[in-house]
């Protein structure tokens, strides 16, 4: 049958990325407490397309993912990217995995246990001999406003904030490590299950540790910079303000503007 995709393009312009989005696939991720964790990912796959070709072969992306092992580690992702590049005769290949990662969390006083999930995003790109992986984790925390606390006779406004850490590294690290760095930067971590004694503890502990979004990103960035494993990172904090009709935001990116 005629291969329309491999024919000439009406407009001879190269395309940076072409592929498929929103594929669902089972995923196995390393878990610090249990060894491994099974979750489900939304997967985007793409390659570059030279100017002389009209289109890519979309079915080959689905075939490559279907024959992939489903283990999310450096070697496995590299094999998937190399397979995509070979199947589609491309010079670069990109894969993105968006998935929830679950951690069992015990309440601080009662010890009541409940699951917490953290939204993760892994980007992998193979271009020539260069292979780049970027992991992003989104972590909810609680923040108490230092200004509100300082000027109020009673209480202060507090809210949930989202800390996003995206990073690249030269050696292995656990997802849990990024979660812990983000949580330590806020006024308090948040929980899926709290009893009254736990709520009292969280409230008092957070009000003893007020912080702006600026404080959050600086604290997390300091930890990442001092770690030594991370070659690039970006820290963002978005505070879903409880007394304003807007969000407060701050970000730090090191070592510079290059990033995803």
Percent of the chain with pLDDT over 70: 93
- In the predicted model, what is the mean pLDDT of residues 33-51? 94
Pairing type for strands 230-239 and 158-169 reads antiparallel
Query: What is the reported pLDDT for 66?
Result: 93
Task: Supply the DSSP string of 40-89, one letter for each residue.
Answer: EEEEEEEEEE-TT-S---HHHHHHHHHTS--B-SHHHHHHHHHHHHHHTT
- pLDDT tens digits for range 96-123: 999 999 999 999 999 999 999 999 999 9
Q: Output the average pLDDT for the chain.
A: 92
DSSP, collapsed to helix, strand or coil, labels residue 144 as strand
- In the predicted model, what is the mean pLDDT of residues 42-58? 87
- In the predicted model, what is the mean pLDDT of residues 224-229? 95
Tokens matching residue 220: 């997390």
Least-confidence region, from 9-18, 33-42, 131-140, 172-181? 9-18
Looking up tokens 């289109």, which residue turns up? 55
CA distance 98 to 116: 16
- pLDDT tens digits for range 164-203: 999 999 999 999 999 999 999 999 999 999 999 999 999 9
Residue 13 pLDDT more than 90? no
Q: Is the pLDDT higher at 7 or at 112?
A: 112
Q: Is the pLDDT higher at 74 or at 99?
A: 99
Residue 8 pLDDT more than 80? no
CA distance 197 to 118: 25
Extract the runs of DSSP E, i.e. beta strands, from the chain. 15-31, 35-49, 92-106, 113-127, 130-144, 158-169, 188-189, 230-239, 248-254
Q: Are 192 and 105 in contact (CB under 8 A)?
A: yes
CA angle 41, 193, 177 (to 5 degrees): 50
Write down all domains in the chain, each with its CATH number in brackets.
Answer: 17-254 (3.10.270.10)
Query: What is the reported pLDDT for 2?
Result: 46
Query: What is the reported pLDDT for 12?
Result: 67
């Amino acid at each position: 049958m005629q291969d329309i995709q491999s024919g000439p393009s009406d407009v001879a312009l190269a395309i940076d990325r072409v592929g498929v989005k929103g594929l669902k696939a089972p995923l196995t991720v390393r878990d610090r407490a249990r060894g491994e964790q099974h979750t489900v990912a939304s997967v985007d796959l793409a390659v570059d397309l030279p100017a002389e070709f009209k289109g890519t072969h979309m079915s080959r992306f689905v075939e490559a993912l279907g024959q992939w092992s489903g283990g999310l580690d450096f070697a496995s992702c590299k094999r998937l990217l190399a397979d995509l590049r070979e199947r589609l005769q491309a010079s670069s290949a990109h894969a993105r995995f968006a998935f929830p990662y679950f951690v069992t969390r015990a309440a601080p006083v009662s010890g009541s246990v409940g699951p917490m999930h953290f939204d993760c995003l892994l980007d992998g790109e193979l271009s020539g001999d260069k292979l780049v992986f970027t992991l992003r984790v989104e972590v909810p925390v609680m923040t108490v406003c230092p200004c509100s606390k300082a000027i109020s006779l009673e209480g202060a406004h507090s809210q949930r904030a989202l800390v996003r850490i995206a990073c690249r590294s030269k050696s292995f690290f656990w997802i849990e490590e990024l979660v812990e760095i983000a949580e330590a930067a806020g006024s308090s971590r948040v929980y899926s299950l709290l009893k009254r004694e736990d709520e009292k503890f969280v409230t008092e502990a957070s009000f003893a540790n007020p912080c702006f979004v600026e404080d959050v990103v600086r604290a997390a960035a300091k930890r990442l910079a001092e770690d030594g494993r991370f070659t690039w990172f970006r820290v963002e904090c978005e505070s879903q303000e409880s007394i304003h009709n807007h969000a407060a935001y701050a970000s730090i990116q090191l070592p510079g503007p290059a990033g995803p």
